[in-house]
Amino acid sequence: MPAKCKQRERILAAGTVDIPVLPVGAIRGNLCFRCFSPSSNILKCSACKRAGYCSKECQKLDWSIVHKNHCKIFKTINQVEESQYQEKRTWDEYSDYLVISCALLLKFVRQFLIFIRAQPYCSSCRRSAVQLSSRKITLTRCDKCRLVFSCGDCNATHKPSVCVAYQNHAHVENFRIGFFEDTGKASPVTCTQFPCKTRKPLKDAAGWYDYFVNISDKPQIKDIIKPDFSGLTNVVGEVGTAKEKEDQERMRMFLLCATENLTMPLTVLAALEDINWDKPHLNIHILGATGREMLALGNFEEMLHLVPSLKGLHITAVGPESWAGSAEQTSAYFPKMDLDCCPACKSDGRMRSIASFKGVYHDFATTPEYEKPDLMVLFNSGFADGDDAESHWAPTIRMVVQGDVPALFTTYNEQEAQNEKTIMERLGASFVVEPEKNMWRGLVPTPEFIDEEYGVWFQNAYRYVVYGTKG
Ligand SMILES: [Zn+2]
Ligand SMILES: [Zn+2]
Ligand SMILES: [Zn+2]
Ligand SMILES: [Zn+2]
Ligand SMILES: [Zn+2]
């Protein structure tokens, strides 16, 4: 019986920084909203018709923890939906509707957007589950992926490639839920266990598989996991026992999900190779930092483990959503704090430290704590396309381009990278690396629900590096 997922808010309040987000499987009616258990008989909340539970017990518990408030907001959403009812919508019309509804919802809280974005709907007429249910029209889920639907009027089918992508996503969500139940951690973090004696440049690697086998320390996956991590090799299928296959599949999912964190230090390291940076102490500023970078902090030790000449790594996380330390602390700056290193690093006298500024970067730059970094990093900043693009980012981006410091940018997709490139060119930025597919992107495809029907995005999918202005 799941215990940790069920009590995730309590676990979060007790100081754990990372808990699983509500799975798409729950929003689309396969998993309980409270304990995330799968159930073929999910009971819907009769008031909002959006939250669903495996049992009365979970429903009661969820009501007391969050749903009492959520239910009201969901009912408001449903009224908006009803006022916009159409018999049939094209994808563009449906997508526009999602954009407008999400903008309305931003008035409440950001975390609700996923409930709307990922809501169940008929893949042909694009009426939502709530709209169909109030008209007594059935909505049937695909029995393979269980995440794509057709209404009784349409009897639509979806492409096999879409079905497989959603099956894989359900598999990842299932792994993450089990992993949290087993370990109390929402996402796997893994480093090369011992620091390397000689540096093996990332630019010589062919990708993640090569990194795990030849640069890091996971040669055991060779000939077992497929090089693109899409599954196990045929060899396993032929000779392995059921138990072996299960363990190896777990290993595959662990490494696949671990790339979601490892993408950060490796993408930074690749950028340092691009600018031929090679000094004993590295000072990085992460702009637009959120809890995600904080969670992945342990993973940045990987940089020390892959670069023998690196003795010190200092990271300053800067952004309106960065952390500011304790509640008593009034300043926006959270001073430099040493982080623990592994025994091998410690005996080598290596150091890691972190500081944080809760605010925008161009404000941080005017404070006495500001020290010019070796590299500025903007992971998936969305400065050209995001909700807060103009207001927050414009002065910072001008500063980044005009400063004499190299800057690494990543984006969720190619279009976003191209839009950012246009702005960069207008500002006269000089490119060290033009926008390109990032070899060190996270490997987990995450469904995207607004820009493109059945689209997916990846952590740090595209990347580019700029350094000052031209001429
Ligand atoms: Zn439940
Ligand atoms: Zn409800
Ligand atoms: Zn339909
Ligand atoms: Zn399907
Ligand atoms: Zn270490």
Spacing, Cα 29 to ligand 2 middle (Å): 13
- What pLDDT does residue 391 have? 64
Nearest bound ligand to the CA of residue 129: 3
Q: Which residues touch 257 (CB under 8 Å, ≥6 apart)?
A: 172, 175, 176, 179, 187, 188, 444
Nearest bound ligand to the CA of residue 347: 5
Pick from 15, 19, 22: which is nearest to 74 by CA?
22
Ranges of CATH 3.40.50 domains, the chain: 261-469
Percent of the chain exceeding pLDDT 70 equals 95
Query: Stretch 238-255: mean pLDDT, rounded?
Result: 89
Spacing, Cα 170 to ligand 4 middle (Å): 11
- What pLDDT does residue 428 have? 95
Query: Stretch 379-406: mean pLDDT, rounded?
Result: 84
Spacing, Cα 351 to ligand 5 middle (Å): 9
Nearest bound ligand to the CA of residue 159: 4
Spacing, Cα 162 to ligand 3 middle (Å): 18
Spacing, Cα 30 to ligand 1 middle (Å): 11
107-140 burial, b at 16+ Cβ within 10 Å, e below that, comes to eeeeebbbbbbbbbbbbbbbbbbbbbeeeebebe
Nearest bound ligand to the CA of residue 74: 2
Pick from 287, 273, 438: which is nearest to 364 by CA?
287
Nearest bound ligand to the CA of residue 151: 3
CA distance 22 to 28: 11
Spacing, Cα 348 to ligand 5 middle (Å): 9
Spacing, Cα 333 to ligand 2 middle (Å): 40
Taking the complete model, does pTM exceed 0.75, yes or no? yes
- What pLDDT does residue 9 have? 85
Spacing, Cα 190 to ligand 2 middle (Å): 39
**29: Cα separation from own chain's centroid:** 22
113-130 pLDDT tens trace: 788 889 999 999 999 999
- What pLDDT does residue 327 have? 57
Nearest bound ligand to the CA of residue 164: 4
Topology given in CATH for the domain delimited by 261-469: Rossmann fold (3.40.50)
Greater model confidence, 98 or 298: 98
Q: Check pLDDT > 90 for residue 400.
A: yes
Residue listed under structure tokens 């709307």: 116
- What pLDDT does residue 237 have? 67
Q: How many CB atoms lie within 10 A of CB 389?
A: 16
Spacing, Cα 171 to ligand 4 middle (Å): 13
- What pLDDT does residue 260 have? 93
**20: Cα separation from own chain's centroid:** 11
- What pLDDT does residue 329 have? 61
Spacing, Cα 298 to ligand 4 middle (Å): 37
Spacing, Cα 156 to ligand 3 middle (Å): 7
Is residue 390 very low, low, confident or very high in pLDDT (cuts 50, 70, 90)? low
Number of H helices, E strands in the chain: 17, 14
Residue listed under structure tokens 């109390």: 184
140-152 pLDDT tens trace: 999 999 999 999 9
